Amino acid sequence: MTVQHPGGAVRPEGGGVSGTPATPALVRIAFTLTSIGQLVVLLALTLAAGAVAGWGFTWITSAENPLFGYLCALLWTALVLVGWELVAIIGKWLLIGRARPGTLDLWSLHHFRFWAATRLVRGAPAARLVGSEWQRWHLNASGARIGRGTVLLCATPPVPDLVEIGPHSFVGERTLLSGYRHADGALILDRVQLGAGAVVGDDCVLEPGSSLGDHARLAGSASLQPGQAVPSGQSWHGSPARPVDTELPNQPQLIARPRLGTPARRVGYAIAQLIVWVAVLAAAADAVSWVGRYLLTELFPAAVDGSAFGLPIALGWSLALAAAMLLVVLLAMVVLSAAPRAVAGLLEAGRVFPLPGSRWALVRMVRAASNLPWFSVLFNGSALATRRLRLLGWRLRQRPGSIEAFGEGVGQANPLAVSWGAGSTAGDRLCIANLECSADAFRVAPARIGADCSLGDEVSWPSAARLGDSCQVAPRTAVPVSGPLRIRVSLQGSPAVESERESSERSEWGRSLPELYRQLGDRARADVATIGLQLLVGWCWLSLALLLVQLLVAVGLPDWLVGFGI
């Protein structure tokens, strides 16, 4: 029996990499050639992006004033987005056509084409509009079969041809639908199928060859291994998945149907989303273009005037501008972090809203504003993490002598619905999933973390978690959402295996409160110094970039800037 892979070559199913095993020297040569090809593609894409940006820069700043420049920016942004999307879809079909189940030799020409096609599919503009109709239309145009009313909150699958999802299904955040896996020097491609009305929770992995039947459900932090199939109407959990022992919490359902029908609401939301996206991107392009024109035509030439003081003046301008840019970014991040409080009254906890809609747009904006990556990396893991989380809207409880430590990448769907117990700690990439969704509705559900809990790395904490105080959760453990409320237990695995938690060592340090406060003060000073060093490194890099631009202005501008008459 043979199967065909995307490049059209035929390879026996279950066979080796080739009829004759490849020698290590040939593998190294193939690996090197593939790496060089990938580097060439990335450099070509960088040059193409620079050329398009230069064209837009020239077009926008050639207008009479910034207002007319914004109109040019709108047209330029729309053309770039449409062209980018068409290049991604057409390029995918030209590179590999329709991908089919089979095997693909690593570091071969077909693997290189496959890699380029997946980068195009995931890099398209519509692929970034997660959870919208644009994402579904993009995937269907790229070869997927996704029914109407389906909501995908996960990253765009890289091989759309191998994804089949029935209508009115739902896939949660951070779930992986790759359609391929690595084994024995090859990529194994197979389909991932979901029936009508199927539900997949957050942080799941669906391996190639797995499937869910109609109205089947896979709980969060679970995985389906190759060949596993969840029968229609059943609920499974765990890794590898197995039938649940108790019923999972119900998903949000609309009691009264909204005035606007679901299909019309989805199309209207998609159109409004595109209009807002284009308007915001055009405003950013207009602002950057006019500020850049002022710097290139007025400020930098005056600083680098060819005199003996030209280089020191240029260095001074670079340092000042870099400091101003960092200050603006920090202020913008603080404002965005406080933004969720402004819409708190519009997102009532526990109330079910239609999806999509205006409330859904607010939820997505709140999620984006409260999970800024650089801000999280800068402050989380330090003594200032609690202040940042309080600014976001967390209800943090503290008691004298308690320590609330947070790792990097701690995030949440809605910061206003998080209650954190005193003395609890969190590892890296903790996600508090306090937003419950279905294919046509959602609600903000408060999440409570008890006192003296310890959460490991990459844990997803659902709002329906049945854990109380003094619980310890190991890294990548599935938090139980059914059964009795658990107190003073340790959990590990998916589904979680429970054991009694030993007495917390943190309560038996034997140190007096003055000594503890002194050590906490030392830690806070060290954290502030670390944050200062991170900002200093960023300041130096920005200053160096601005200095290089000024020297470029002094030597001579590129051809695409000659249109300014400089």
Q: What is the pLDDT of residue 19?
A: 45
Measure CA 88 to chain center: 20
Backbone angles phi, psi at 563, to 5 degrees: -60, -20
Percent of the chain topping pLDDT 70:
84
Query: Looking up tokens 């801000």, which residue turns up?
Result: 375
* Whether 146 contacts 140, CB under 8 Å: yes
What average pLDDT does the segment 381-386 reach?
A: 74
Percent of the chain topping pLDDT 90:
25
* Token code pair at residue 186: 């090859």
Over residues 314-332, the pLDDT tens digits come to 677 777 777 887 888 778 7
Please, which contacts does 299-303 make with residues 24 or more away whose CB atoms are closer than 8 Å? 300/549, 300/550, 300/553, 300/554, 301/553, 301/554, 301/566, 303/550
* Whether 497 contacts 480, CB under 8 Å: no
Instruction: Report how far residue 269's alpha carbon sits from residue 278's, in angstroms, rounded to the nearest whole number.
Output: 14
Highest mean pLDDT among 81-85, 184-188, 337-341: 81-85
Edge-first strand order for the sheet with 411-412 is: 411-412, 431-433, 460-462
Task: Look at strands 497-500 and 489-492 and give their pairing.
Answer: antiparallel
What average pLDDT does the segment 403-432 reach?
A: 84
Find, among 202, 200, 220, the residue nearest to 210 by Cα.
Answer: 200
Indicate if the pLDDT at residue 113 is higher than 80. Answer: yes
Over residues 31-63, the pLDDT tens digits come to 899 999 999 999 999 889 888 988 888 888 888
What average pLDDT does the segment 187-208 reach?
A: 92
Indicate if the pLDDT at residue 84 is higher than 50. Answer: yes
Q: Which residue has the higher pLDDT, 127 or 509?
A: 127
Please tell me the pTM assigned to this model: 0.83
* Whether 217 contacts 170, CB under 8 Å: no
Q: What is the pLDDT of residue 90?
A: 95
Edge-first strand order for the sheet with 418-420 is: 395-396, 418-420, 447-449
Q: SS3 helix, strand, coil % of the chain, rounded to 5?
A: 45, 15, 40
Indicate if the pLDDT at residue 174 is higher than 60. Answer: yes
Measure CA 509 to chain center: 39
- What kind and span of H or E run contains 118? helix 109-123
Omega prior to 240 cis, within 30 of 0: yes
Q: What is the pLDDT of residue 564?
A: 41
Q: What is the pLDDT of residue 565?
A: 38
Q: What is the pLDDT of residue 91?
A: 94
Q: What is the pLDDT of residue 508?
A: 40
Over residues 396-415, the pLDDT tens digits come to 887 665 566 788 888 888 88
